[in-house]
Amino acid sequence: MEEKTPILSVKDLVVNYGAIQALKGASLDVYRGEIVAVIGANGAGKSTMMNAIMGAVPRASGEILLDGRPLPSKSYLVVKDGVSLSPEGRKVFAPLTVLENLDMGAFPLSDRAGIEKQKEEVFDLFPRLLERKDQYAGTLSGGEQQMLAIGRALMAKPRVLLLDEPSLGLAPIIINEIFKELTQVNRQLGMTILIVEQNAKKALQLSQRAYVIQTGRIVMEGRSEELLHDPEIEAAYLGGKKK
C-alpha cells in the first residue's frame, strides 16, 4: 500500500496561540488509500493539527504538502485542492436542510450531474440522511448530524478526508454504526482518511497506522494493530488491561 510520496505530508508543524505553543514541530505522513489515526488526550493538539492543515489556523513554521506540493493557506482553496474536514462538534448548518447542507459541501464542484452523483453516494452510505433529506439539520440527532458532517465533507469529492473526533458525545451503538460506514467510505470509495480521536480504541481498530500526540509532539507511531496491544498505550489510552 505504501508508496514513495505520501498523499498528505505534515512536516515539523508549529502552531502558536499567543504564548501557547499548541504544536511543537509535529510531523506525519498519510499514503493513498490508508486510514491513519492520531490519538491523544484533551488539549494534545489534535484539532489544531486538523485546522492547520485546512488553513483555518495560521502556522508559525513547517510544511503541509498534498502530493508533494504545498497546500494553500486559505480553507476554501484547500477544499478545492482536495482536502475536506468533518469538524469537531459536527458544525452542520442548523437552519438548513440535509440537502442544503450537502449542497454547501459541494461548492468546489461545478457540474450538476457530478453533484447529484456525489449526493447519491452519500445517501448510499448513510440511508438515514436520505430518509431525512428535507429535515432541518438542527433537528437531527447527534449521530445523524455526524453522518451529515461526514457526508457534507464527502460532497467536495476530496482526495483526503479529515475527521475530527467523529465519536464525540455519541452513544457506543451510534459510534459503531458511524465507524462501520467509515470503513465502507475507505473501501468502497478508496478514500484516504486521517482521523483524530480521543476514543483511541475505536480509532486504532479503524485505522491501519497511527500516531500518538502529546502536548504538541508526536511521541509514538506504528501499525494500529500493534499499538492496540502496546502496554504503554493500553495504560495511557485504553483504560488499562480490562478487555
Ligand X SMILES: Nc1ncnc2c1ncn2[C@@H]1O[C@H](COP(=O)(O)OP(=O)(O)OP(=O)(O)O)[C@@H](O)[C@H]1O
Residue 49 beta carbon to ligand X: minimum distance, rounded to whole angstroms:
7
Q: What secondary structure letter does DSSP report for 57?
A: S
Closest separation in Å from C-beta 32 to ligand X = 26
Yes or no: say if 51 and 100 are a contact pair by the CB < 8 Å rule.
no
**DSSP strands (E only) in the chain:** 8-17, 20-30, 35-39, 61-66, 69-70, 83-86, 160-164, 192-197, 209-214, 217-223
How many residues bind ligand X (CB under 6 A)? The answer is 13
Residue 44 or 170 with smaller CB distance to ligand X: 44
Q: By C-beta, is 52 or 115 nearer to ligand X?
A: 52
Per-position x/- string for 197-226, each x denoting binding to ligand X as judged by CB under 6 A, each - no binding:
-x----------------------------
Residue 44 lies near ligand X (rule: CB under 6 A): yes
- Binds ligand X (CB under 6 A): choice among 9, 48, 199, 208: 48
Determine, following the binding rule CB under 6 A, whether residue 43 of this chain makes contact with ligand X: yes
Tell me the H-state helices in 135-196.
142-154, 172-189
The residue from 2, 5, 17, 229 that contacts ligand X (CB under 6 A) is 17
Q: What is the residue whose three cell numbers read 450537502?
A: 102
Residue 51's contacts (CB-CB under 8 Å, 6 or more residues apart) are 57
Joined together, the cell numbers standing for residue 131 give 430518509
Q: Which stretch binds ligand X (CB under 6 A): 40-48, 131-139, 169-177, 202-210?
A: 40-48
The residue within the footprint of ligand X, chosen from 19, 42, 112, 241 (CB under 6 A), is 42
Cα atoms in the 13 Å half-sphere on the side-chain side of 120: 6
At 31, the amino acid letter reads Y
Nearer to ligand X, 43 or 239 (CB): 43
* Backbone φ/ψ region at 20: left (φ over 0), alpha (ψ -120 to 50), beta: beta
58 scored as a contact of ligand X (CB under 6 A)? no
* 46 is a contact residue toward ligand X (CB under 6 A): yes
Q: Is residue 40 a contact residue for ligand X (CB under 6 A)? A: yes
Residue whose CB is less far from ligand X, 85 or 98: 85
- Considering only 35-43, 155-163, 178-186, 201-209, which stretch makes contact with ligand X by CB under 6 A? 35-43
- Grid-cell match 508533494, residue found: 68
Half-sphere exposure of 161 (CA within 13 A, CB side): 26
Helix 112-125 and helix 98-105: axis angle, to 10°?
Answer: 120
Does residue 22 interact with ligand X by CB under 6 A?
Answer: yes
Distance of CA 167 to the CA centre of its chain: 11
Residue 235 makes contact with ligand X by CB under 6 A: no
- Name the minimum Å distance from CB 161 to ligand X: 18
Which residues of the shown chain bind ligand X in the complex (CB under 6 A)?
17, 20, 22, 40, 42-48, 88, 198
